[in-house]
Chain A
Amino acid sequence: MDVSELKVTADLANIELGEEEFASLGREVEKMLDYFSKMMETDGMSLPSGPGRRAANRTRPDAVSGDADPDSLLENAPELEDRFIVIPNVL
């Protein structure tokens, strides 16, 4: 994986990497991808597809549960303005 791909990947993941971190994590990512190449030995087309066995058609009734406590959620918010959660946004 070249440097520009790592950059794009970090951007998509919203992670900011310092120069040193960029190099060291880059090496680790590279090592893992190398290791993953083992999967390429297999004939992918002969393999089964799909996510496999799963429970199907699970739904819940359309009812308001009313057990939530919104105020306790707001207490965890780093910054509030009335009931709004605030984030900086200098345009």
Chain B
Amino acid sequence: MESPFARWRVLSDAAARKKYEAYVKEADANIGAFLEFDAGRPEGRPGGCLEGVPFAVKDIIAVKGFHLTCGSKILQNLVSPYTATAVEKLAAEGGIVVGKTNMDEFGMGSSTDNSALGKTNNPWDGRRVSGGSSGGSAAAVAAGMVPFALGSDTGGSVRQPAAFCGVYGLKPTYGAVSRYGLVAYASSLDVVGVCACSVGIARDVFELMRGQDEKDQSSLDPGPDAPGPDAKVIGVLGGDLGLDPAVERAYRAAIGFYKSKGFELKEITLAMAEYYVPVYYTIATAEASANLARYTGIRYGYRPACAENPEELTRRARSEGFGDEVKLRILLGTYVLRSGFQDQYYQRAQRLRQAIRADFDNAFTRADVILTPVFPTQAFLRGQGGLDQFQQKLADRFTTAANLAGLPAFSFPAAVEDGLPVGMQFLAPAFGEARLFEVVRLYEENFPRPLPPRYKPEWS
């Protein structure tokens, strides 16, 4: 079988590289997926399965010599002195990082508009957001600029922009891929994920990246009881899901497809579903408040023009360096951990998180995989007619569950409705990625990835 990367060895000779660079330059002028692009970096190990293949990395993942801004003013000038484990593994197979992609500041948002460093337009409609927080990665893949791009998924940050841009988005099992080099937003929820132009590429990239890492002691290899690739019973959600009509149609169509392929479709009840979002935001912001405490302008990053003492320096650096959404989440996270409030918020959320895990353990005794929408809307417009920050948070109700329960989830372009892609996702038991790839591959065989009209490079 031909490698899914065969068409993508565009950096293996100078002529191809030149053509490739020209394409990216032109495409990205309208999209703004990249914060930094450099296709001329030294090539990776020859002979590897990714030899000559370019890929992009969300600017929250460290690549030595590239910036590591996290979409924030506070890290705008930081050059990473080291490389993330996941990236090292891909580079060891010959893959070449060509750039860093735009994102919501520190991964906090669903549009990439929370970036302090630029806007990323949706390749399907430039007035619309690319989703977030890995919007730049999803857009770069959708527009054929790279075959795959690494992202991070804390509450849906790979799957939602993948759905908005019409590409595949994998959120691996928590711990399956090393987090070393992934800048922490919420450490117990964060995973390195991948936006890809095909199921095969998503699968291969995941297989290359996965594995226990000495530098990440929360990383794990699958145990002997890891779920197998076969799925027969698909759990689906019943009742009113509060979806936009286009999304509702696509969900029903996807269910119909799998039924027609002989799967058993079983309606399941996830009793804890109404708590996903509050539990997620409690835990995520609590961890973020500690994770983002290191940004003070002392050792690296933005330093304010004047300050008389360390405290003033720190306060100014953070006040001037962080955007509103980041400040909001830090304040919220600080509050829910404070003595006197911690029991009520953080501790209770931890207990609810356990109950959510148990709920999924239970659900997977009845279904092999679970099919749900990714987001209640398609890519939304900026400003009027879009979603405000609070509405965006409420809309995380389908994606956050996989992070809270540590489960793998894979979003895929299920349909194009009204000229925009709609994404659906499958969830599987921990370390059940193989099952996700199998079940989505079947969909891809029947409905190949739709391409945004304006962006169709010859190699894509």
Contact = CB atoms under 8 A, between A and B. Distances in A.
Interface of A: 1, 5-6, 8-10, 12-17, 21, 24-25, 28-29, 31-33, 35-36, 38-40, 42, 44, 47-55, 58-60, 69, 72-73, 75-79, 85, 87-90
23 contacts: A9-B334, A13-B293, A13-B334, A15-B318, A15-B327, A16-B318, A21-B327, A25-B328, A28-B389, A36-B281, A38-B274, A47-B352, A48-B354, A50-B354, A53-B406, A55-B217, A58-B217, A58-B218, A76-B78, A76-B299, A77-B299, A88-B313, A90-B308
Given A28-B390, A29-B332, A42-B352, 14 more contacts: A13-B318, A13-B331, A14-B311, A17-B319, A25-B331, A32-B390, A33-B332, A36-B345, A40-B344, A47-B355, A49-B354, A53-B357, A76-B301, A79-B303
B289 interface: yes
Contacts of B281: 32, 35-36
A51 B350 contact: yes
Nearest to B344: A40
A9 B331 contact: yes
Nearest to B354: A48
Contact of B81 (A16, A36, A49, A69): A69
Interface in B297-327: 297-301, 303, 306-311, 313-316, 318-319, 322, 324, 327
B175 interface: yes
Contacts of B253: none
B457 to A, nearest CB: 36
B186 to A, nearest CB: 13
B353 interface: yes
The 8 closest A-B pairs by CB, nearest first: A47-B351, A58-B217, A76-B300, A48-B354, A78-B303, A16-B319, A16-B315, A13-B334
A39 B275 CA distance: 7
A32 B334 CA distance: 13
A12 B357 CA distance: 32
Contacts of A6: 331
Given A48-B355, A88-B309, A90-B308, A76 B79 contact: yes
B24 interface: no
Contacts of B330: 13, 15
Contacts of A76: 78-79, 81, 299-301
Contacts of B296: 14
Contact of B349 (A39, A50, A58, A88): A39
Contact of B357 (A44, A52, A58, A73): A52
Contacts of A78: 297-298, 300-301, 303
B348 interface: yes
A49 B350 contact: yes
A52 B430 CA distance: 13
Contacts of A14: 293, 296, 311, 314-315, 318
Nearest to B324: A25
B252 interface: no
B4 interface: no
Q: What is the predominant secondary structure among interface residues of chain B facing chain A? A: helix
B282 interface: yes
Given A10-B331, A13-B331, A87 B310 contact: yes
B336 interface: yes
B358 interface: yes
A39 B35 CA distance: 39
A1 B78 CA distance: 36
A39 B278 CA distance: 7
A5 B78 CA distance: 34
Contacts of B311: 14
Given A9-B331, A49-B351, A69-B81, A55 B175 contact: yes
Nearest to A55: B220
B427 interface: no
Contacts of B322: 15
Interface string B4-38: 00000000000000000000000000000000000
Nearest to A50: B354
Contacts of B298: 78, 85, 87
Nearest to B274: A38
B274 A54 contact: no
B324 to A, nearest CB: 7
